[in-house]
Amino acid sequence: MGLLLLIEMFVAVFGLIFKVIGGVLLLILKVAFVLVRGMLMQYVRAWRVLRRRWQERQQDKRMKAAAARRAAAADGREGEQ
Question: Does residue 77 have a pLDDT over 80?
Answer: no
* Segment holding 11, helix H or strand E: helix 2-80
Q: Looking at residue 81, what DSSP letter applies?
A: -
From CA 59, how far away is CA 54, in angstroms rounded?
9
pTM for the predicted model, two decimal places: 0.54
pLDDT attached to residue 74 = 85
In angstroms, the CA 15 to CA 22 distance is 10
**62 to 18, 55, 67: CA distances (angstroms):** 65, 11, 9
Report pLDDT digits (tens) over 1-51. 788 899 999 999 999 999 999 999 999 999 999 999 999 999 999 999 999
